[in-house]
C-alpha cells in the first residue's frame, strides 16, 4: 500500500512512477523526495542514499535515479519499540 505524502490517502502507483504522475485526490506530484523510501529528515541533505544528487525542493517532482516509492508503514516506529527518550525516562521512574 502506498500513501501520498500530502493528503495521506492511499494511491495506486504504477511500477515506475513518472515525473508527471500526480495524486488523483489532491494533485500533489508523486515522484518527489517526500514520497521516496530514502527520504529521512535526520540524514545529510535529507536523503539516506549517499550517491543521490542534492535536491532542494523535496515536494517537487524530480529526476532522481534512486527514487523508490515508500511503503505506507515506512517511517513509523514498530509497536513496542522504545525511543531513546522513552528509555531515558524509564531510568528515572
Q: How far is CA 33 from the centre of its chain?
A: 7
Please name the residue that has the C-alpha cell 493528503: 7
Q: Which three cell numbers stand for residue 39?
A: 527520504
Q: What is the CA radius of gyration of the chain?
A: 16
Name the residue range of residue 76's domain. 1-93
Report percent pLDDT > 90 for the chain: 66
Q: Which three cell numbers stand for residue 67?
A: 527514487
- pLDDT tens digits along 11-25: 988 888 999 999 999
Q: How many domains does one find in the chain?
A: 1
- pLDDT tens digits along 41-81: 999 999 999 999 999 999 999 999 999 999 877 544 444 56
Q: Can you give the pLDDT at residue 71?
A: 86
Q: How many helices (H) and strands (E) does the chain have?
A: 1, 2
CB 33 within 8 A of CB 43: no
What 3-state DSSP class applies to 10?
strand
Amino acid at each position: 500500500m502506498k500513501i501520498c505524502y500530502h493528503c495521506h490517502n492511499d494511491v495506486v502507483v504504477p511500477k515506475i512512477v513518472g515525473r508527471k504522475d500526480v495524486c488523483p485526490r489532491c494533485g500533489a506530484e508523486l515522484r518527489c523526495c517526500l514520497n521516496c523510501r530514502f527520504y529521512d529528515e535526520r540524514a545529510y541533505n535529507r536523503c539516506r542514499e549517499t550517491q543521490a544528487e542534492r535536491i532542494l525542493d523535496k515536494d517537487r517532482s524530480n529526476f532522481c535515479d534512486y527514487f523508490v516509492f515508500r511503503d505506507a508503514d515506512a517511517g513509523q516506529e514498530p509497536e513496542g519499540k522504545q525511543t531513546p527518550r522513552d528509555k531515558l525516562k524509564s531510568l528515572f521512574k
